Each structure stands twice: as C-alpha cells, then as structure tokens.
A and B are shown apart, each in its own frame.
Chain A
Amino acid sequence: MANSKIEIVVACGSGVATSTIAADAVKDLLKELGIQNYNLVKTSMTELPNIIDSADVILTTNNYKTDKKPCFNVMSFITGINEESLKSELADIFLKLNN
C-alpha cells in the first residue's frame, strides 16, 4: 500500500458545484497533513456507482452510503457547520490510508 495513491472520490448532484468546493477543502486538508500521494476525482451522484470500486474513500454532499467503502458526508465543507470535526475525521482516515 505504501506506494499506491489514495483514491479519493468527491461527489455531488451535478458533479460540478458543491463537489468542487468540497474537493478544494479536501485538498487543503491533505496539504495540511502533508499528504501528496493521492488522486482526487470529482463526479456526480449518477456516475458514482461506476467508479466506486477504484475508490479508497467516498465523500459526498448527499449523505450517500455504501457498505463497500468508507463514506463521509462532507456537507460541513459547504455550510461551515461542524467543519472542524469533519476535518479531524477525514484526517484520521487519510493518515491511515497514507500509511
């Protein structure tokens, strides 16, 4: 796992708007954590099932749930509510995946 990139998928309804804002926040967080070895893909909720297998972690603004992969609701990056607790949850999983 050491040399494989963390595959992060960020999805929202359209795959354009809120996912981009969330994706930017995620990139900032990864930078803070000093993690560079990742691949971040933005997508729409409709496309999400097609790329789920290649993802290590799935972040959505729509409260998407699957048993296959770790999922997080990243709405806090949009509304600013509970953003700090979301950041620490994500930091935990990113650091785990980075090891």
Chain B
Amino acid sequence: MLKQYIYDDLVFWDKEYKDYEDLLSHIMETLVSKNYVEKEFEEALIIREKEFPTGLQLDGYAVAIPHGGSQYVKKDFVSVVTLRNPIFMNRMDNPEESLEIDILFILGFGKSETHLQVLKELMGLIQNPKVIEELKKGTLIL
C-alpha cells in the first residue's frame, strides 16, 4: 500500500539542505505546485516538529518521519528525502536529544484511515537497515 503513495516527483535523492526548515521550504515548492498540499502545510509541519519532534532512533541509524497538518493535505503522499550531509532533528521519545538525520519520510495524509496502514508499513520498512542503506544509495525501488 505504501508504494502507491510514493510518487516519483516526491522522491529527493542525495540533497543538501542546511536544516529541516530549509529542506521543507524546498520540498514545499513541489508539494504546492503539484497540488499535494496547501501552503499552510509547511508551517503546520514546522510547528509540529518543534512541539513534538519526529526523529526515530533505530538500531544504529536514525530517520525522521515528519507528519501532521492533515487539514492542508489535498492528495495523500509519502515523500522520501535522502541527504548528502545529515541535518539535526530531535528525537520523538526524548525531545532534548538531537539525532543526525540523513533520511526522511514526510507523510502527508488527510483524514483517511489508509494512512495508518501506510505508516505501519513504513515502520516495518525502516526497521530494516538494508532497506535504509539501499535507499541512501538510491538503488532501492520501493
């Protein structure tokens, strides 16, 4: 199910951004112009990340799964971003701690129930270090 929400135009390989807000502002250009979200989505995700960060420490690596702003989502999506140089983001279950993040899955879902299925599937996927390695190399076709 996850696969069908990962659109080619929302996969960003090997990018360089100085921080999360910089990353988001670049991705927003595509998200808005391709009609996935309304522009308010950006602020919703920034606020959300500040209040309740989405960095996940996994077994030897870390990923972030920014999500929120469901009221601004027009078309459900999962955007995959891999970074050449990691950015710092805070840890969901310990917001005082920052993690070096070089792979993000930005989730945009409206009020549909399907997004939970997708999120679950994604969680299963990101627990596999091989999948993450392949994603970073850009060799894994999801």
* Residues on A facing B (Cβ under 8 Å): 12-14, 16-18, 20-21, 24, 45, 61-63, 73, 75, 78-81
Contact = CB atoms under 8 A, between A and B. Distances in A.
Contacts of A81: 57-59
B70 A79 contact: no
B57 to A, nearest CB: 7
B116 A21 contact: yes
B93 A17 contact: no
Contacts of A61: 92-93
Contacts of B94: 63
Interface in B18-59: 48, 51-52, 54, 56-59
Given A45-B52, A62-B92, A78 B115 contact: no
B116 A20 contact: yes
Nearest to A75: B93
Nearest to B95: A62
A17 B51 CA distance: 15
Interface string B50-94: 011010111100000001101000000000000000000000111
Contacts of B57: 79, 81
The 4 nearest A-B residue pairs measured at CB:
A13-B52, A75-B93, A80-B127, A63-B93
